[in-house]
Amino acid sequence: MSLAVPVGAHGIRADRFVADATGMSRAHVQRLIREGRLTRDGRPMRASLLVWAGDALELDVPEVRPPEVLAEPIPLRIVYQDDDLLIIDKPAGLVTHPAPGHAGGTLVNALLALGGPETFGGIAGVARPGIVHRLDRDTSGLLMVARNDRAQASLMAQLKARRVKKTYLALVGGEPPATAGRIEAPIGRDPRHRTRMAVVPDGRPAVTAYRVRERFGAWTFLEVDLVTGRTHQIRVHLASIGHPVAGDPVYATGAVRRGPEGLGRLFLHAWRLELEAPAGGRVIHATAPLPDDLERVLTALRRGRQGSGA
């Protein structure tokens, strides 16, 4: 992979420049540099070396080796595809990629049934072919998958630069007083419960915006813009302002944790994506309608509202 250093990157560290230019994590870039895979004029670079405008760097990203995960014929709903990109409407209950406790039955297993690992980008590693971001298991909706390394690098860079617009639909407990709001609060590991995230002073910056679509008294239906992409961000931010997502088993309690009648899972759906095509620069828009199980919950709430005369 060839990387030309622009004027705006003059004088910054090599590892930081490569991470910003490719969208890879800095830790992953540093591993590649330690392996001698980043060169300038044919000479291996150190992570701490500075790059200068006009430099031509070469990054050797290892080819994808056959993954240990197996292809599985899991049905997938593809809402958009071209030579560089798939956009999948992931159902609730499907884990994005293999992890401890989920070696099979994941989106990656389903993707491998569509083609071998060479069919997708390999930058994220052999266990995550084409993966550029993830959704929680119980969150449904749109997920991007890269079909080659160039597309994967482009999509990861867009995500890092916050150029991908991601909008979710959520049902929350209570009634936010304003019709629109913006939550800016850092997120990190909960110091008391290390398996959870929380708003903490030393966390990573996180921004979530929301707009009210419908009010149902004890419940409110929101449209939520994910400006940054921290782990569990929407769930943590909404819980932090006293309006946790309905059906959330981690960040909600009591009646909100159970959700309204008929809700059997987290009421959170990745509804809309807007991004730049990896090749050509055109804007791609994709939407995924609210799944039937969540739509039925809203229908029941609307009937209840009408029955009460609200």
Token couple for 291: 């799944």
* Buried-state track 182-215, b at ≥16 Cβ within 10 A, e below 16: ebebebbebeeeeeebbbeeebeebbbbbebeee
Counting Cβ atoms within 10 Å, is residue 120 exposed (0-12), middle (13-18) or buried (19+)? Answer: buried
CB atoms within 10 A of CB 161: 10
Is position 138 annotated as part of the catalytic site? no
Give 213's contacts (C-beta < 8 A, 6+ positions apart). Answer: 169, 221, 222, 223
Q: Out of 136, 138, 149, 248, which one is annotated catalytic?
A: 136
Is 172 within 8 Å of 220 (Cβ atoms)? Answer: yes
Is 29 within 8 Å of 70 (Cβ atoms)? Answer: no
Closest to 168 in 3D by CA, of 34, 260, 290, 83: 290
Mind telling me the catalytic residues? 136
